Amino acid sequence: MSVLAWGFDMLLAAGLLWLAWQALFTQRRFSAVVNFMAFYLLMALVWVRLDAPDIALAEAAIGAGVTGALLLTALGRLPAGTSVGADPRRWQRPLQHLAMAGAGMGVIWLAWSAYHLPRPGLAGEVTATLDATGVSHAVTAVLLNLRAFDTLLEIVIMLAAVVLVWSLGPPLGPPLRAFAPATALPGLPALSHLLHPFFVLVPVYLLWRGTHAPGGAFPAGAVMGAGGVLLLLTEARPWEYLRHHRLLLHVLLAAGMALFLVVALGGMLLTGTFFAFPLFLAPTLIMAVEIATALSIALMLMAFYLYGEPGQ
Amino acid sequence: MTEALHWLGYAFVAAGILFFLAGSLGLLRFPDVFTRLHALTKADNLGLGLICLGLALQASGPAEAVKYLLIWLLMLVASGIGATLIASTALACGLAPRQADRPPSTSTSQRPTEQ
Amino acid sequence: MTTFLYAAGAILLLANAGVGAWRILRGPTSADRMLAAEMITTSAIAVLLLLSIVSGQSALVDVALLFALLAAVAMANFVTRTWTLLRDDKDAREEARHD
CB spacing of B71 vs C49 below 8 angstroms:
yes
Give the per-residue pLDDT at A310.
58
Boundaries of domain holding C30: 2-98
List the single best residue of C77, C93, C94 to mutate versus A (max A Cβ within 10 A): C77
Give the per-residue pLDDT at A146.
77
Mean pLDDT for the stretch of residues A303-308: 74
Mean pLDDT for the stretch of residues A273-283: 76
How open is the CA angle A158-A46-B80, to the nearest 5 degrees?
A: 80
Chain segment A31-41, per-residue pLDDT in tens? 888 899 899 88
Query: Do A241 and A249 contact (CB within 8 A), yes or no?
Result: no
Q: Is the pLDDT of residue A81 over 60?
A: no
Q: State whether residue A194 sits within 8 Å of chain B by CB.
A: yes
Give the per-residue pLDDT at B111.
38
Q: Is the pLDDT of residue B19 over 90?
A: yes
Residues in chain C closer than 8 A to B95 (CB atoms):
29, 31, 97
Give the per-residue pLDDT at B113.
38
**Residue B68 confidence class, pLDDT cut points 50, 70, 90:** very high
Residues in chain B closer than 8 A to A194 (CB atoms):
77, 81
Number of domains in chain C: 1
What is the C-alpha to C-alpha distance for residues A297 and A309, in angstroms, rounded to an integer?
A: 16
For A202, nearest residue in chain C (alpha carbons): C66
> The domain that contains C74 carries what CATH number?
1.10.287
Give the per-residue pLDDT at A70.
84
- What are the sequence ranges of the domains in chain A? 1-51, 53-76+133-312
Which residues of chain C are modeled with pLDDT < 70? 88-99
Residues in chain B closer than 8 A to A233 (CB atoms):
none
Give the per-residue pLDDT at B109.
38
What is the C-alpha to C-alpha distance for residues A163 and A73, in angstroms, rounded to an integer?
A: 19
A70's enclosing H/E stretch is helix A68-77
What is the C-alpha to C-alpha distance for residues B90 and C20, in angstroms, rounded to an integer?
A: 19
Which of A208-217, A263-272, C35-44 has the highest mean predicted lDDT (pLDDT)? Answer: C35-44
Mean pLDDT for the stretch of residues A95-119: 89
Q: State whether residue C25 sits within 8 Å of chain A by CB.
A: yes
What is the C-alpha to C-alpha distance for residues A156 and A7, in angstroms, rounded to an integer?
A: 42
Mean pLDDT for the stretch of residues B68-92: 89
What is the C-alpha to C-alpha distance for residues A42 and B33, in angstroms, rounded to an integer?
A: 24
* Average confidence score pLDDT of chain A: 81
What is the C-alpha to C-alpha distance for residues C29 and A251, in angstroms, rounded to an integer?
A: 44
Confidence (pTM): 0.86
CB spacing of A184 vs B85 below 8 angstroms:
no
